[in-house]
Copies of this chain bind each other. A is one copy, B any other.
Amino acid sequence: MKTYFECFPCYVQQALRAARLFTDDPKIIKNLIDEVGMLFPKITFDMTSPEIGEFIYGRMREISGVNDPYKNLKKQSTDEALDLVPFCRKLLTESADPLFMAIKLAIAGNMIDFAIHHEVDIRAEIESIVHKELTINDYDSFRKRLEISETILYIGDNAGESVFDRLLIEQLHDKKIYFGVRGTPVINDVVEEDAMQAGIDKVAEIVSSGSPVPGTILSKCNKEFVELFQTANIIISKGQGNYEGLSDEEREIFFLLRIKCEVIAGHIGVPIRSLVLMRSDLR
């Protein structure tokens, strides 16, 4: 999925938000915003948003000298998510279809990046999402594919969210599961350390995509990850950043996400805030 005009204001917004995490020096913030502005002419429409993100957060790392400015926030959101595990396990136990419930919880977890910037109550959000319908629901197809599959590549999105991913992975019994994380800290995206904190290592093999962008763009991933991507029986891709990078890939992918921006809503053809479990090749 390529950059849209509507993404440009958002790039500036993201730079501002990120800069404020590591400094309150107006000169440094202004410089980063200026750099993003001056980058505009170099952004072409064959680029994806995660690539622009790579520049923004790369520059931020250079300017701040801090490798992972979101580290504390990520730890905090994982802690908050871990606190909700007993509540979620209860929902799973009481559910007539725990797999589907776990999918809903994994989608609910996908609003964690939104939550850290907007003071959202995650528990309330989960309670509400559990009763909502999925706007795109390819669950039947997913379940059937699961029956005949042995290997799954589950591509994580945000730290904290991975706690809910773990609950879903626990429902994918007797499969060999690889959990893809970013190769470099970028925004609050999950890296190996965050996945470990979420306990993913107990239920899957954590693999680094090598990606330095807030999403998955295969040309930016390492060889091992690309091979896994090509050979895994099922791909589960969480969140918008991965969708933006992978939506044009030809192989079948199950996208699991909450729609958080108008651009992606328009691209998929659903309203904003929709909950989506979508098999890519059915559309």
Q: How many Å lie between the Cα of A78 and that of B34 in the bound state? A: 38
Q: How many Å lie between the Cα of A5 and that of B16 in the bound state? A: 7
Q: Which residues of B contact A34 (CB under 8 A)?
A: 40-41
Contact B12 A30 (CB under 8 A): no
Does A119 make an interface contact (CB < 8 A)? no
Contact A16 B8 (CB under 8 A): yes
Size category, A interface: 20 to 34
* A37 touching B8 in the complex, CB below 8 Å, given contacts A26-B45, A45-B26: yes
Name the one of B6, B13, B33 contacting A40, with C-beta atoms under 8 angstroms: B33
A31's closest neighbor in chain B, by CB?
B41
Name the one of B8, B12, B29, B40 contacting A38, with C-beta atoms under 8 angstroms: B40
Q: How many Å lie between the Cα of A5 and that of B31 in the bound state? A: 11
Q: Which residues of B contact A40 (CB under 8 A)?
A: 33-34, 36-38
Does A86 make an interface contact (CB < 8 A)? no
Q: Which residues of B contact A33 (CB under 8 A)?
A: 5, 8, 40
Q: How many Å lie between the Cα of A206 and that of B40 in the bound state? A: 41
Q: How many Å lie between the Cα of A26 and that of B43 in the bound state? A: 13
A-B contact pairs, 28 of them (CB 8 A): A5-B16, A5-B26, A5-B29, A5-B30, A5-B33, A6-B16, A8-B12, A8-B16, A9-B9, A9-B10, A9-B12, A9-B13, A9-B16, A12-B12, A26-B45, A30-B45, A33-B40, A34-B40, A34-B41, A36-B37, A36-B40, A37-B37, A37-B38, A37-B39, A37-B40, A37-B41, A38-B40, A38-B41
Nearest 4 A/B pairs, CB to CB: A37-B40, A37-B37, A9-B9, A9-B12
Task: Beyond the given A8-B12, A30-B45, please list 14 additional residue pairs across the A-B interface where CB-CB is below 8 A.
Answer: A5-B26, A5-B29, A9-B9, A9-B10, A9-B13, A12-B12, A26-B45, A33-B40, A34-B40, A34-B41, A36-B37, A37-B37, A37-B39, A37-B40
Task: List residues of chain A with CB under 8 Å of any chain B CB.
Answer: 5-6, 8-10, 12-13, 16, 26, 29-30, 33-34, 36-41, 45
